[in-house]
């Protein structure tokens, strides 16, 4: 097993008002877990080296890029689910980063305020900000929340006391008036982005943003399709890792690197190269999202000799299954 380090940037973290000592302990643990979970795999695709480096620079190099975005007067928007109209953020010149809770380490911070009997994912997400132990929370200008459950609805009210949090109402039914409600919510969010950036969102820059995001979704769909091949040319752990990184990385660069990986996977499929073995049991995971660094289910399943070929969740296919220009992105009054 190779040594692996999530690189340390203590001065950068100090400038973000983080609890540096506590966060640094988590950083070291993350490096150890990553080496055990990912670098111990045999016959990994060579193009996974980019995604390994992305994890190494997760709390350093990528944060510096986001700081540069902020220095240009462009907002960094933290999000918690796939319901955000990400194209509006991009059209206004902003950047989206995923902030879903994936670690138990932040839950005690949340339970100082939130009830112990609510969703651990929600508590984990809140605790990262309350404990000042996540670089992405600290670099964000404002957060985007959605009303998908009661725990989140209350949590966003409390989180707004720590960092500005914009909440969009998510319709609970598929009815005409529900669609109208969502369209109005999208227009309100458009106005929020224009107010934040001082930049008008036009049909032209919105179309460019839609194209950019559709390219990203197409690349992820290509990867997902290749995972379905028998034998699968890539482990489920690596597939999950890429889906998680999709919420942090620069979308243009990410799309390019995913397609490079897929080119390599095409060759592996032709040559019948697999990671787990020719006759491994094939498994689909469905249900709750597995935000970074939550890899335990995949470790257990693939440690037993099976291979995970799909994630039906908002970390997985729900994020990239649709391509096109949704009618509710119309910005006309």
pLDDT of res. 63: 98
Residue 289 has pLDDT above 90, yes or no: no
pLDDT of res. 81: 83
User: Reduced to 3 DSSP states, what percent helix, strand and coil does the chain have, rounded to the nearest 5?
Assistant: 55, 10, 40
pLDDT (tens digit per residue) in 164-199: 999 999 998 889 999 999 999 999 999 999 999 999
Read off the pLDDT of each residue in 120-145 and give the average, rounded to a whole number: 94
Residue 49 placed within a domain: no
Would the pTM count as exceeding 0.85? yes
First-to-final CA distance of the chain: 58
pLDDT of res. 62: 97
Domain carrying residue 186 = 74-202
Domain count, the chain: 1
Percent of the chain at pLDDT > 70 equals: 96
CATH code (residue 188): 3.40.50.11890
Reported confidence tier of residue 242, pLDDT bands at 50, 70, 90:
very high
Residue 87 placed within a domain: yes
Closest CA to 3 of 46, 32, 26: 32
User: Which of the two residues, 327 and 229, has the higher pLDDT score?
Assistant: 229
Residue 149 placed within a domain: yes
pLDDT (tens digit per residue) in 193-235: 999 999 999 999 999 999 999 999 999 999 999 999 999 999 9
**Phi, psi angles (nearest 5°) of residue 311:** -120, 115
Q: CA 208 from chain center: how many Å?
A: 21
């Amino acid at each position: 097993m190779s040594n692996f380090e999530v690189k340390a940037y203590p001065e950068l973290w100090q400038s973000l008002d983080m609890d540096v000592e506590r966060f640094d302990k988590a950083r070291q643990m993350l490096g150890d877990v990553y080496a055990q979970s990912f670098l111990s795999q045999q016959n990994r695709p060579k193009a996974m080296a980019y995604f390994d480096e992305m994890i190494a620079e997760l709390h350093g190099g990528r944060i510096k890029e986001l700081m540069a975005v902020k220095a240009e007067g462009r907002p960094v928007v933290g999000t918690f689910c796939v319901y955000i109209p990400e194209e509006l953020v991009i059209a206004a010149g902003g950047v989206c980063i995923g902030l879903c809770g994936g670690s138990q380490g932040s839950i005690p911070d949340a339970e100082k305020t939130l009830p112990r009997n609510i969703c651990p994912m929600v508590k984990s997400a809140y605790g990262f900000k309350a404990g000042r132990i996540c670089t992405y929370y600290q670099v964000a200008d404002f957060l985007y929340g959605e009303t998908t459950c009661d725990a989140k609805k209350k949590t966003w009210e409390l989180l707004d006391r720590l960092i500005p949090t914009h909440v969009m109402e998510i319709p609970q039914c598929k009815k005409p008036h529900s669609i109208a409600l969502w369209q109005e919510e999208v227009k309100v969010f458009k106005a929020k982005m224009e107010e934040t950036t001082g930049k008008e969102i036009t049909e032209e820059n919105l179309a460019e943003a839609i194209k950019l995001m559709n390219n990203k979704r197409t690349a992820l769909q290509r990867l997902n399709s290749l995972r379905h091949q028998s034998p699968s040319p890539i482990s489920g752990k690596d597939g999950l890792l890429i889906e998680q990184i999709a919420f942090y990385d620069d979308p243009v660069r990410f799309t390019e690197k995913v397609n490079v990986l897929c080119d390599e996977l095409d060759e592996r499929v032709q040559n019948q190269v697999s990671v787990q073995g020719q006759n491994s049991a094939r498994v689909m995971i469905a249900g709750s999202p597995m935000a970074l660094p939550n890899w335990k289910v995949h470790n257990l399943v693939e440690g037993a000799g099976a291979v995970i070929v799909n994630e039906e969740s908002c970390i997985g296919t729900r994020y990239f299954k649709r391509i096109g220009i949704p009618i509710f992105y119309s910005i006309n009054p």
